[in-house]
């Protein structure tokens, strides 16, 4: 039996194809809130990582500049 022919199953199986239950009235709102929450968390995480990387970078720069032989170190002396 071909798969196409098998899809033509007649009553009552074909009732299944169009069968849906009433969606929960809160579903759309819950989806929206969940998306907003996850986006906010992702943004906050992004920001935290960026700030952390920037801090580490600044710290390394300061450290390198304070080493003897560096331009800024020589100027200060």
Site size toward other proteins (CB under 8 A) is: 27
Residue number, 13 or 51, with CB nearest to other proteins: 13
Other beta carbons less than 10 A from residue 72's beta carbon: 13
Output the CA–CA distances (angstroms, integers) from residue 42 to 26, 27, 47, in the order listed: 24, 22, 9
Q: According to the binding rule CB under 8 A, does residue 15 interact with other proteins?
A: yes
Q: According to the binding rule CB under 8 A, does residue 74 interact with other proteins?
A: no
Beta-carbon contacts of residue 66 (< 8 Å; ≥ 6 apart): 72, 73
Q: According to the binding rule CB under 8 A, does residue 49 interact with other proteins?
A: no
> Helix (H, G, I), strand (E, B), or coil: what is residue 69?
coil
Q: According to the binding rule CB under 8 A, does residue 2 interact with other proteins?
A: no
Sites of contact with other proteins (CB under 8 A): 3, 7, 9-13, 15-17, 19-24, 26-28, 30-32, 34-36, 38-39
């Amino acid at each position: 039996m071909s798969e196409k022919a098998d899809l033509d199953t007649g009553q009552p199986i074909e009732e299944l194809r169009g069968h849906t239950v009433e969606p929960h009235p809160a579903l759309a709102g819950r989806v929206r809130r969940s998306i907003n929450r996850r986006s906010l968390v992702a943004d906050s995480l992004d920001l935290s990582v960026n700030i952390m990387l920037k801090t580490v970078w600044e710290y390394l720069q300061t450290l390198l500049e304070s080493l003897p032989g560096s331009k800024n170190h020589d100027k200060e002396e």
